[in-house]
Structure 1
Amino acid sequence: MSTKIQTTALHSDFAVEVHASIMDVVDDPDAIEQIQAIWRRSPVMIFRRQSLDEPELVRFTERFGRCETSFRKDIQSPYHDQIIYFSTLKYHDGRFVGGFAGGEDVDWHSDQTFQVRPATGAILYGTEVPRDGGDIYWANQYAAWELLPQDVRRLVDGRTGVFRYAKRYSMLNATELKDKEKANAMLSLPDARHPVVLTHPRTGRKALYADPTTLVEIEGLTQEENERVLPQLFAAGGDPAHAYRHKVHNGDMMMWDNGCLMHRRDVMKIEQPRLMKRTTFRLSAADYCVPHA
């Protein structure tokens, strides 16, 4: 029986630092069960001062869900296709090592909302972190739901949103998807349809699922209702009182649940070295709030 894993709250109950070494817990079923329980309560978990190679990162990820292989081959790790890179570093031929190399992020968003079956689990591991800028924020979407007026809640609960990649593309920074063939492939994706309110199957808590970078309308509402309601959803989703700002350090492993969070990143300088490694994984609909069965 492993010892009880300790945590420190970073922002109310939704963001915590977990005091554990990944390599000490990755093969301990009791410790993994404890971390899973912590994660269901606190959907942002920060593990500091970790030292992981890529197989270890994948192994830990798969304790929580099936690792996805990225469709973005241009930013994929050359060693493990379950890992993608975000970096300012360059290969000898001038190509960036990974994607999202500089500039501003896309603002508040949840990953993969434009996909028909998004994977909602995410881990980001900082191996080389810039000295200035690049802070990462997460916004609590359980709290966002509670912020909405009762009439808006009644209007949107149980309804389906239409999510479109073209909206996100129009907001992307200049270093994203410069390859026109890749961009056209993404722009040709069919619209995705997801509930705009997700319910956690274990706790019953409701979370807003309204990505401002992809949500274009809510089905069943008039144009006037959409024009009135969508800005309220987006404002609640990014409310600063319910956002945690994290200054990333080398060795930080950040784990979050896109089903009940949004995130964004501060501006960063392209001249500063940065190498982040990310895994994306599918969570069980029996244990987490996901936008599909």
Structure 2
Amino acid sequence: MRSRMPKIRTTPLHSTFATEVHVPVMDILDDPDAIEELKGLWQKSPVMIFRRQSLEESELVRFTERFGKCETTGRKDIQSPYQEQIIYFSTLKYANGNFVGGFAGGDDVDWHSDQTYQVRPATGAMLYGTEVPRDGGDIYWADQYGAWDRLPKDIQQLIEGRNGTYRYAKRYAMLNALELKDKEKANAMLSLPDAQHPLVLTHPRTGRKALYADPTTLVAIEGLSDEEAARVMPILFEAGGHPSLVYRHKVHNGDLLMWDNGCTMHRRDEMRLDQPRLMKRTTFRLAAGDYCVPKA
């Protein structure tokens, strides 16, 4: 029996963990075979870049839900007025002077994975650039499979099978003034219970191990004293953001960026408020049987 020829052409951007996908999303949106092929690619390359796309917000949500259930945010101030599953990151303003969306400018919080401070994080993410600044705002991803491989053997043996404690307050202290400084919203986030997640995740399909040690939220390691954790955590953080593991992407209008937070970390360059920017993001839940999903 002849195997089906792949429909999707790709180009590696960094080793095997970041890949450019050469296909218009609208050409495969309703093609189950192509979506299955794309899922297989994503399990091996957790960062995928689709350049020069043209998508309505409803189409972005539809494409997202081919991979997992979309989340909706409780923060109405950054939510799309058209699709509740989409949030905006922007330097643009409404007529009343409020920013269109959140996280408008300044520095990022450095290397991180989304929602690690939540008990049940949603690890899938897409970011669609509709208005992209000329300068600044480049986005970086770091390969956490490679981070695990970089760790000394004794550190691997020490952390495998242990949970970490992840706390929002640590990230909050790193946020710039334009992020989440509203007192009521901040209090709601700061009151979240600590999350417990494994420090090492294993991909159920490929068997590869990924480090899951977010420098912005990890505050303790199960079974280690504060002194021992203080020695080990910088080793984990250095491996997680090592330059050899990083793909840097210059975003252009129409770029659709898709990544798996279970086996990558990301950050961006500083954003300037004098340049227009509008990015649209969806966050979605991945199946534990198919992806690196933290579950303590």
| Superposed counterparts of 1:1-293, under 5 Å | 4-292=7-295
Task: Give the total of aligned pairs.
Answer: 293
Instruction: Give, in angstroms, the shift of residue 178 of structure 1.
Output: 2.2
Compute the TM-score of the two structures, normalised by the length of structure 2: 0.98
CA contact (8 A) 1:48 1:252 kept: yes
Residue by residue over 1:20-77, the C-alpha shift from the partner in whole angstroms, topping out at 9 and shown as x without a partner, is 1000000000000110000000000000010000000000000000000012221000
Q: Distance in 2 between matches of 1:99 and 1:2?
A: 43
The 8 Å contact of residues 162 and 194 in structure 1, kept in 2 or not, is answered as yes
Q: What is the DSSP-based 3-state SS (H/G/I as helix, E as strand, rest coil) of the residue aligned with 2:281?
A: strand
Distance, in Å, in 2 between the alignment partners of 1:19 and 1:163 is 37
Given that 1:114 and 1:214 are in contact with CA atoms closer than 8 Å, whether structure 2 keeps it comes out as yes
1:243-289 deviations in whole A, cap 9, x for unaligned? 00000000000000000000000012111000000000000000001
CA-atom RMSD, angstroms? 1.0
For residues 206 and 83 of structure 1, do their structure 2 counterparts lie closer, same or farther at Cα, with a shift above 3 Å needed? same
Give the Cα separation in 1 of the matches to 2:152 and 2:114: 26
Separation of aligned partners in 2, 1:163 and 1:71:
21
- What amino acid is the match of 1:232? I
C-alpha displacement at 1:2, in angstroms? 7.9
SS of the counterpart of 2:33? helix
SS at match of 1:225: helix
Contact 2:163 2:221 in 1 (8 A): yes
Once the two structures are TM-superposed, the CA of residue 222 in structure 1 deviates from its matched residue by 1.4
Identify which range, 219-228 or 238-247, moves more after superposition.
Answer: 219-228
Contact persistence 2:103–2:178 (CA under 8 A): yes
Q: Percent identity, aligned pairs only?
A: 76
Indicate if the aligned counterparts of 1:136 and 1:266 stay in contact, CA closer than 8 A.
yes
Could you tell me which amino acid in structure 1 is paired with residue 141 of structure 2? W
4+ aligned runs moved over 3 Å, structure 1:
none
Q: 1:2–1:30: 8 Å Cα contact kept in structure 2?
A: no
Cα shift readout 1:60-115 (whole Å, capped 9, x = no counterpart): 00000000001222100011110000000000000000000000001000000000
Q: What 5-or-longer segments of structure 1 have no aligned partner?
A: none
5+ residue gaps, structure 2:
none
Once the two structures are TM-superposed, the CA of residue 3 in structure 1 deviates from its matched residue by: 5.2
Give the secondary structure class of the aligned counterpart of 1:98. coil
Normalising by the residue count of structure 1, what TM-score does the alignment of the two structures yield?
A: 0.99
